[in-house]
Amino acid sequence: MLQNREGFFVISMHSIRTTAHLLSQILLLFVVVSLHVNVIAQEKELNIIKPGSFLYAGKQPRSWPSPSGHFEFGFYPQGSGYAAGIWLVGRPENTVVWTANRDDPPVSANSTLEFTAQGTLLLRTENGEEKIIANPSSSGSVDSASMLDTGNFVLYWKRSVVWESFDFPTDTILGGQNLSGDHNQLISSVSRSNHSSGQFLLSMQPDGNLVAYVNNSAELDTDDAYWDTGTDGYSFSVLNLNTRGVLTMYSESNLDEERVPGLLENGSTTGNETKIIYRASVDPDGIFRLYSHQLESNTISNFAQNLDDVCDVKGHCGLNSYCSGKGNDFGCYCYPGFTFIDENTKFLGCSQNFTVDGCEARKDLSIQYKITALENITWAGYPSYVKHDLDKEECKKACEEDCSCGGVLYSSTGCSIYGLPLKYGRRQESIMTTAFIKVIIGSTISPSSGISPILINEGNRSLILTMGLSLGSFASLSC
Ligand SMILES: *[C@@H]1O[C@H](CO)[C@@H](O)[C@H](O)[C@H]1NC(C)=O
Ligand SMILES: *[C@@H]1O[C@H](CO)[C@@H](O)[C@H](O)[C@H]1NC(C)=O
Ligand SMILES: *[C@@H]1O[C@H](CO)[C@@H](O)[C@H](O)[C@H]1NC(C)=O
């Protein structure tokens, strides 16, 4: 079970009954209003897209706008080409809120988007490759499409929705959108200008907990988690942002008395609601932020976020380095004895210029090292082992005596022994720990051993040195 560390999104369970009542009324109102709006929109047949319509990356029409003109679906510039998606129109910059096939490379100016006669939404690249964006016609029929003013692109059959972009969120949910079921994750974009899958992920888990992770592998690991609501066991399964900027977790069925919504954030007091579009995004830096876009003044404000310090997000600084600083003013630093892999790209992490692999099996090897202390450090990753009854000096000694030890972390709760690489390092004054880092400065092979190679990694390159030890001499490797 994960603990809620800190942040804006605090769930007040005591006020949940009144909240539930209020929210059900708001929701009811919202449903009535949106039904009404939909009916009007359909009656006027506003911006209804018929099968057989085309968009072009390199010429007009490039996009299909929503009736209000605030959202558009179509081609937007990405890298040296184009991507297909949905954006919120802004001056001077648009905000991309959804991208189709986001991990595909950008397409050229000669690409087209077709809403086919069969009702399939198809991207056709210059060399004739066809990529399906939506194909609900495989299971039924489609007779029209529309870019709605909510930012949802929908396909219809006889005026009922058969496919909607809201069901496939990328890094953002808009007012009226849910994160649930098979599509319960938001994955950050690489950067503000590259909307491919980035480094961070937010998951509305089946266990009721909303958790932010480093997007490392297919298998989510609690060790990669850096924020959560601490609500596992509450049977929440839906994260909803409504059109008034209220972010809430729901249970799929609200029939059960205990299954009431959990309010995370209420942004509904920030202005004239009809002129505001709300958005919740996992940003490229891993922080989950709520934004309001004031349409009249064309301003964007970030009114809530789950974490204040970028360093609280794991993984900003690479292996064998640590993050230190406040807010957006942070830096990545190497541990003593380590150097940046790339001095110009410090977040890539650091390396030591000497490591010795398989030291335990090598009784002939004696390693020279020095140990440096560093205060106020935490690491994640699992320690090789933890010893509870050691004092500070004994903890340091435990690392000296264990050749696979890269560093130890001493705190009031014990002595944790870690191998390299050291992961998710963080330095903060409030953390009451002492880290001892082992730096290898050389190694010696005793004369009694036979001929055998020693594998030495220099930075991330590795070189194999074969020693002619039959001569009875000893070789010393040092920097
Ligand atoms: C976006 O980032 C991904 C991952 O880093 C990269 O592979 C891709 O080439 C980038 N795309 C563009 C258009 O720069
Ligand atoms: C979002 O989830 C709520 C609660 O389960 C549900 O009532 C609503 O219909 C969902 N909205 C959409 C757009 O799927
Ligand atoms: C090894 O690292 C030290 C700093 O820790 C540096 O002074 C030295 O030049 C490095 N040696 C090589 C061969 O890169």
CATH number of domain containing 200: 2.90.10.10
CA-wise closest residue to 373 among 351, 346, 395, 402: 395
Residues 123 and 271 in one domain: yes
Residues 431 and 309 sit within 8 Å (Cβ to Cβ)? no
Compute the distance between CA of residue 105 and CA of residue 78 in angstroms, rounded to an integer: 9
Q: Residue 30: nearest ligand to its CA?
A: 2
- Look at residue 19 and tell me if it is in a domain: no
Any atom of ligand 3 within 6 Å of the Cβ of 353: yes
> Are both 334 and 421 inside the same structural domain?
yes
358 lies in the same domain as 268: no
Number of domains in the chain: 2
Last residue of a domain, one of 311, 331, 355: 311
Distance 440 CA to ligand 3 centre (A): 11
Q: Can you give the length of the chain in residues?
A: 479
Residue 104 lies in a domain: yes
- Domain containing residue 57: 53-311
- Of the bound ligands, which one is closest to the alpha carbon of residue 180? 2
* Residue closest by Cα to atom 1 of ligand 1: 194
Strands 185-189, 197-204: pairing is antiparallel
Of 258, 285, 311, the residue at which a domain comes to its end is 311
Ligand 2 pocket mutation pick from 152, 240, 242 by most atoms within 8 angstroms of CB: 240
pLDDT of residue 196: 96
Nearest CA to ligand 3 atom 8: 479
Q: Is residue 44 part of a domain?
A: no
d(CA 169, CA 151): 11
Q: Does 134 reside within a domain?
A: yes
What's the pTM value of the predicted model, to 2 decimals? Answer: 0.80
pLDDT of residue 254: 57
Q: Which two tokens stand for residue 136?
A: 């609900």
Q: What is the pLDDT of residue 463?
A: 32
pLDDT of amino acid 476: 32
Residue 457: its pLDDT value, please? 47
**Is 453 contained in some domain?**
yes
Q: How far is Cα 296 from Cα 319, in angstroms, rounded to an integer?
A: 46
DSSP per-residue letters across 66-96 = -TTSSEEEEEEEETTEEEEEEEE--SS--EE
- Closest residue CA from atom 13 of ligand 3: 479
Rounded CA-CA distance 355/462 in Å is 10
Based on the fold, state whether residues 453 and 417 are members of the same structural domain.
Answer: yes
Angle at 190 between CA 189 and CA 191, to 5 degrees: 90
Rounded CA-CA distance 32/106 in Å is 40
Q: Give 250 Cα–ligand 2 centroid separation in angstroms.
A: 9
Nearest CA to ligand 2 atom 5: 252
- Tens of pLDDT, residue by residue, the chain (479 residues): 333 433 445 443 333 344 445 445 544 445 444 555 554 444 445 689 999 999 999 999 999 999 999 999 999 999 999 999 999 999 889 999 999 999 999 999 999 999 999 999 999 999 999 999 998 876 678 999 999 999 999 999 988 999 999 999 999 999 999 999 899 999 999 999 999 999 999 999 999 999 999 998 778 888 899 999 999 888 888 999 999 889 999 887 654 444 456 778 887 755 566 689 999 999 999 999 999 999 888 889 898 899 999 999 999 999 999 999 998 889 999 999 899 999 988 888 999 877 666 666 666 667 778 899 999 999 887 888 899 889 999 999 999 888 889 999 999 889 999 998 999 999 999 999 999 999 887 777 665 544 444 444 444 333 333 222 222 223 333 33
Same domain, 180 and 78: yes
Q: Show the DSSP H helices in 169-285 as ranges.
A: none
User: Residue 183 carries which DSSP code?
Assistant: B
From 149, 131, 192, 201, select the one nearest 170 (Cα to Cα): 201
Tell me the ligand closest to 82's alpha carbon.
1
Residue 266, pLDDT score:
81
The count of other CB atoms within 10 Å of the CB of residue 33 is 11
**pLDDT score for 373:** 95
C-alpha to C-alpha distance for 135 and 208, rounded to whole angstroms: 31
CB atoms within 10 A of CB 5: 13
* Distance from C-alpha of 392 to C-alpha of 456, rounded to nearest angstrom: 30
Residue for token pair 């008395």: 257
Q: Are residues 288 and 434 in the same domain?
A: no
- Characterise 434 by phi-psi region: left (phi > 0), alpha (psi -120 to 50), beta (else): beta
Query: Which SS3 state, helix, strand or coil, does residue 8 take?
Result: coil
Structure tokens at 460: 């991330």
Do residue 260 and residue 385 come from a single domain? no
Domain CATH for 354: 3.50.4.10
Domain assignment present for 31: no
340 in contact with ligand 3, CB cutoff 6 A: no
